[in-house]
């Protein structure tokens, strides 16, 4: 059965071996969704819940509110995302344009994006994202979606500036973690209002 402390220790030991080693650990964990829920608790509120953070490894429990989306963004580090509840749709993007800094000098190489692919995951599945991948995320269903994200670096304090792209214009800008927290908070408020209204 999944144990948070043992999972963290396994990831700490495996991160030096790279993304493939982390993927195996994440897949083993989310193969037992009830076990993960028993250890981490039943998801009740959308949010970003850190489990571990260091210079070379970050582990986060993400809970997505129904129908919420997160704008296109990069990580500049590898990521393995394992679902243990709900459904997650990933849209993958590639940069187009002049390949410059987008006028902001914050790592937004290429002023715009175009769609390059998609992947939909359910419980027990995992997505593997290389350090250069740009993706946006959506929870397409009317219930909370929960996933363990493991990053090969410090997600909250990345050494290389990260970027995000506007949902509507697909123009790049510096990544804003405060905005990410705001998106999760607002989605959580909407979810709570729906629950209170019996929706």
Number of domains in the chain: 1
Query: 85 near 33, Cβ under 8 Å?
Result: yes
CATH number of the CATH domain containing 184: 2.60.120.10
The pLDDT of 125-129, averaged and rounded, is 97
Pairing between strand 126-129 and 79-85? antiparallel
Residue 97's pLDDT is what? 73
Examine the pLDDT at 106 and tell me if it is beyond 70. no
Report whether pLDDT(100) > 60: no
Cα–Cα distances in angstroms (integers) from residue 36 to residues 3, 27, 124, 178, in the given order: 8, 12, 11, 28
What is the arithmetic mean of pLDDT over 43-64?
A: 96
- Arithmetic mean of pLDDT, 21-44: 97
Q: How many Å apart are CA 78 and CA 133, to the nearest integer?
A: 8
Judged by average pLDDT, the poorest of 62-76, 135-149, 171-185 is 171-185
Q: What is the pLDDT of residue 111?
A: 57
Question: What's the count of helices (H) and strands (E) in the chain, helices before strands?
Answer: 4, 11
Question: Quick one: pLDDT at residue 96?
Answer: 86
Query: How far is the C-alpha of 165 from the C-alpha of 111, rounded, in Å?
Result: 9
User: 10: domain range?
Assistant: 4-196
**Across all residues in the chain, what is the average pLDDT?**
90
Q: Is the pLDDT of residue 107 over 80?
A: no
| CB atoms near residue 178 (< 10 Å) | 7
**How does residue 98 score in pLDDT terms, banded at 50, 70 and 90?**
low
Predicted pLDDT of residue 89: 97
With 70 as the cut, is the pLDDT of residue 103 above it? Answer: no
- As a whole number, mean pLDDT of residues 10-16 equals 98
| pLDDT greater at residue 180 or residue 36 | 36
Mean pLDDT value of segment 122-140: 96
What's the pTM?
A: 0.89
């Amino acid at each position: 059965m999944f144990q948070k402390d043992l999972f963290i220790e396994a990831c700490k030991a495996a991160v030096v071996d790279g993304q493939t080693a982390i993927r195996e650990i994440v897949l083993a964990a989310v193969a037992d969704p009830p076990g993960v829920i028993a250890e981490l608790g039943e998801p009740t509120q959308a949010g970003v819940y850190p489990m571990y953070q260091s210079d070379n490894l970050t582990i986060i429990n993400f809970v997505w509110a129904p129908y919420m989306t997160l704008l296109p963004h990069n990580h500049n580090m590898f990521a393995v995302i394992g679902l243990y509840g709900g459904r997650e749709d990933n849209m993958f993007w590639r940069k187009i344009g002049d390949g410059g800094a987008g006028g902001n000098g914050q790592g937004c190489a290429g002023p715009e994006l175009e769609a390059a692919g998609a992947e939909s995951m359910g419980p027990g599945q995992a997505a593997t994202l290389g350090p250069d991948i740009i993706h946006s995320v959506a929870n397409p269903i009317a219930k909370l979606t929960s996933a363990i994200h493991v990053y090969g670096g410090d997600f909250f304090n990345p050494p290389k500036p990260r970027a995000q792209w506007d949902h509507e214009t697909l123009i790049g800008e510096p990544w804003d973690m405060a905005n990410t927290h705001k998106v999760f908070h607002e989605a959580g408020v909407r979810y709570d209002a729906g629950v209170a209204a019996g929706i």
